[in-house]
Copies of this chain bind each other. A is one copy, B any other.
Amino acid sequence: MQRIGIFGASGYAGIELTRLLAAHGGLTLAFAASERQVGTLVGDLTGVGGELGRVAYVGFEAAREAAKSCAVVFLCTPPEVSKPLAAELVAAGVRVVDLSNAFRLGDGTVYGLTEVNREAIRTAQLVANPGCYATAATLPLVPLLRAGLVQTTDVVVDGVSGASGAGRRNEESYSLVEMHDNVRAYKVMTHQHQPEIAQSYARAAGAPVDVVFIPKILPFARGILATITTRLAPGVDPAQLLATLRAAYEGEPFVRVCARAEDADLHAVVGTNLCALGVTCVNGRVVLLSAIDNLVKGAAGQALQNANLMLGLPETTGLVGLRRFLP
């Protein structure tokens, strides 16, 4: 049993991570830190039973000390908290998976999109866990960009997300009444995941990719559906698209390439660590669909997948056998 700890443990990602840990078997929760919930039992907030449920949330100060003896520490904290905290932990030799967007851009850290960056993650000191939208948007296009099958200009990424992606909110605009039966775009072409997506695309293409990202919020708790639109590169046979995706993800435990693109929907993934994706091409225009559970593959699940790699555990530990929740 290896010890891990969580800062920001009472947010939605922190709670999901705690729930996943409960079924992991190889990790012990050394601490769950939440300034808001000091003293509350983990079980009361997460529904987790057993010994794990009887752990009480502690403040960040107490957690700092405990963190030093952890094999991995997860930061489910806002970027402004993650930045100094990760620096401090790394300086103390602690390995960190940060779920915020503090470290995703640039070359200083290991970007934790597991399927793309597996080897670097194994030995990383600090893993920048990808954004939820970015995970959904990146997985389907990377193999096609690497193979030069699609154009790198005029790529459009549309992403709809359940509201848990925005975290706990006490604002009127996130109230049930204000969100119910609505779908609303926000931060169009200015969302922090747009450069993150562009960076992953560029790394895959070996050249800049011209992409815009249009996020929208849905009145559900969970799930992201990303739609990526681009063009076939000149001279490419459309049949190569699906074949390339299948080859790229053959044997990947958490990527399902759908024969019909439209089968990549929320029901296929919510509750699991899966990304379901598919591609269709008509007259040279290419549309990819990609679905994840924003709290699992889009946050806590991928963080655990990365931690498994960092700790030399089987990558799928605690992440297979997660039930799909919806029909």
Contact = CB atoms under 8 A, between A and B. Distances in A.
Interface of A: 12, 15-16, 19-20, 22-23, 46-47, 49-50, 154, 156, 158, 160, 162-164, 168-172, 174-186, 188-190, 212, 214, 216, 218-223, 225, 227, 229, 231, 253, 261-262, 265-268, 270-272, 274, 280, 282-283, 285, 287, 289, 320-327
Given A154-B154, A268-B47, A220 B180 contact: yes
A47 B264 CA distance: 12
Contacts of A162: 177
Contacts of A184: 225, 262, 265-267
Contacts of A190: 282
B181 A179 contact: no
Contacts of A50: 320
16 contacts: A22-B323, A50-B320, A158-B158, A158-B214, A163-B176, A164-B327, A170-B175, A176-B180, A180-B220, A185-B265, A185-B287, A188-B261, A188-B289, A189-B282, A214-B287, A221-B326
Given A175-B175, A182-B223, A184-B266, 9 more contacts: A22-B321, A158-B214, A163-B177, A168-B172, A181-B223, A181-B267, A185-B227, A271-B271, A323-B323
A321 B285 contact: no
Which of A47, A154, A190, A221 has the most CB atoms of chain B within a 10 A radius of its CB? A47
Contacts of A261: 185, 188
A80 to B, nearest CB: 21
A47 B214 CA distance: 26
A289 B223 CA distance: 22
Contacts of A160: 160, 183, 216
A187 to B, nearest CB: 8
B186 A227 contact: no
Contacts of A47: 268, 272, 274, 323-324
Which of A16, A222, A289, A327 has the most CB atoms of chain B within a 10 A radius of its CB? A327
Contact of A287 (B179, B189, B285, B326): B189
B287 A180 contact: no
B323 A322 contact: yes
Nearest to A169: B175
Nearest to A16: B323
Nearest to A52: B321
A46 B49 CA distance: 26
Given A188-B261, A287-B189, A181 B181 contact: yes
B181 A221 contact: yes
A266 B181 contact: yes
A266 B175 contact: no
Nearest to A178: B327
Contacts of A222: 181
